[in-house]
Amino acid sequence: MSMSGPYAPAPRATFNAPVPTRRSWITDLRIWWREVDKWLLGLVLVLMLIGTAAVAAASPASADQLSTADVRLDEFLFLKQHVVWQVLGVCVMIATSFASRDNARRMGILLFAGMLVLLFLVPFIGVEKNGARRWLEFGMSLQPSEFLKPGFAIAMAWILSWRLRDPNLPVLTFVTAIMALVAGLLMLQPNLGATILFAGVWFVLVLLSGVSVQRISALVGAGVVGLTATYFLYDNARHRIDAFLGGGTAFDQVDLAQRTLLAGGWTGSGLWLGIRKMNLPEAHTDYIFSVIGEEYGLLICAVIVLLYLALVARVLMRLVDEENLFVLLAGAGLITQIGGQAFINILVNLQLFPSKGMTLPLISYGGSSTLAVCFTFGLLLAITRRNPFLERETPGLRDFFATKEERE
């Protein structure tokens, strides 16, 4: 029975809690554009455009070499495929750069674990090309070591950052054991170039994490012993090192690369007017820097070197005031991997380093390798995103380069 009159209970007050609303994609895009490193993004896109022009120059030479009496490849086949892979790569890079730092870390760790499993399968079911077994066929050719690179840098940075929680954790033992495992799997292919690159990333991260000089010296000594053992145990590595130290021959691919690089002089012979590139193996991948030298000139080669230096410098500048140890280590590891691979490739083309079968990031033709490099830069853009209105008070990399008196 309902009550009325002066003694009726007062109506119960109701409170409508605010319903959380999801941000629109336009808002997310504005936030991303405000926080992303536009200089880094711009440098990446410029190098990719240069890569398109470089593959356009190299595509006829590679198509001619890979053609047979029965099958004649379209001379612009590699250019058409490269443009498709670049478009997909840009999409992967932008999508990855929207991730938060935590999600970027999770993606890197999961990628590392997945590629490590595939790396175990390569010696058993991998496809052999040019005397090396590095690829898996899943409808398309996949090289697990290419995708392992960004995952490796992220995973190593994550483990080394544990020291902030507990300085007594044996993180150096963990990362060294993982490095030894990866090196062993890569040398089964064999892939000495990738092994050296992974070791370089590992060394930089260990150095930045604050390991004592005595331990670093011991690790360097172990690395020298391992490299010496590689020379005596692997015929392929020994032959390449001997050819490099002996100066090569007129039929050596590194010597051909250097001759092609210098053939165009300072200004180049002009697009599709190069001659020496027609005899150069892997003109669209490993030796594309030499094709650029012949057709576009040494001045353009110098510009490319400066762009890579600017790329490395920009990331380091971004990390100078970074207070998050994981971000500091991950960013340094990722850019070490990209910069190291680029300069090894350039040195090989200049006949200043033994041939390593390593592509030039963002410029060389590639399918899965292009996606892997773009994913790497997507991770870099994600972890270096910052709110420009927040002030940084911690020293970041400055503390690493500062003296003991300056820290105190």
pLDDT of 284 reads 86
Output the six-digit token pair for 374.
């773009």
The residues facing 127 across adjacent strands are 135
DSSP 358-388: ---TTTS--SHHHHHHHHHHHHHHHHT---T
> Averaged over 55-78, what is the pLDDT?
86
The whole-model pTM stands at: 0.84
Angle between helices 235-245 and 213-233 (to 10 degrees): 100
User: How much of the chain, in percent, has pLDDT values that exceed 90?
Assistant: 42
pLDDT-wise least confident of 129-143, 169-183, 326-340, 374-388: 129-143
Count CA within 13 A, CB hemisphere, residue 392.
15
pLDDT (mean) for 193-220:
82
The two tokens of residue 8 are 């009726």
In the numeric block, the tokens 């999801």 are attached to: 22
**What token pair was written down for 340?**
């190291």
pLDDT digits (tens, 9 = 90+) for 255-306: 788 888 888 889 888 888 888 888 888 888 889 999 999 999 999 999 999 9
Task: Give the position of tokens 């400055």.
Answer: 398
Q: Confidence band (pLDDT; 50, 70, 90) for 406?
A: low
Please give the Cα distance from 329 to 202 (Å, whole number): 10
What would the pLDDT profile of 378-389 be if each residue is shown by its tens digit?
A: 999 999 988 666
Report the pLDDT value the prediction gives residue 393, as an integer from 0 to 100: 44
Domain ranges of the chain: 36-385
pLDDT of 234 strictly over 50:
yes
Contacts 24+ apart (CB under 8 A), 304-313: 304/47, 304/50, 304/363, 305/346, 307/43, 307/46, 307/47, 307/50, 308/47, 308/339, 308/342, 308/343, 308/346, 310/43, 311/40, 311/43, 311/44, 311/47, 311/335, 311/338, 311/339, 312/338, 312/339
In percent, the amount of the chain with pLDDT more than 70 equals 80
Report which residue type is found at 49. Answer: L
- Cβ atoms of residues 384 and 397 within 8 Å: no
Query: What is the overall mean pLDDT for the chain?
Result: 83
Inter-residue contact 311 to 94 (CB < 8 Å): no
Reported as a single tens digit per residue, the pLDDT across 131-165 is 678 878 777 778 889 999 999 999 999 999 888 77
Interaxial angle between packed helices 144-160 and 368-383, expressed in degrees from 0 to 180 and rounded to the nearest 10? 20
Which range is least confidently modeled, 53-62, 198-207, 392-401? 392-401
Decide if pLDDT at 399 tops 70.
no
Query: 212 near 218, Cβ under 8 Å?
Result: no
Does the pLDDT value for residue 77 go beyond 50?
Answer: yes
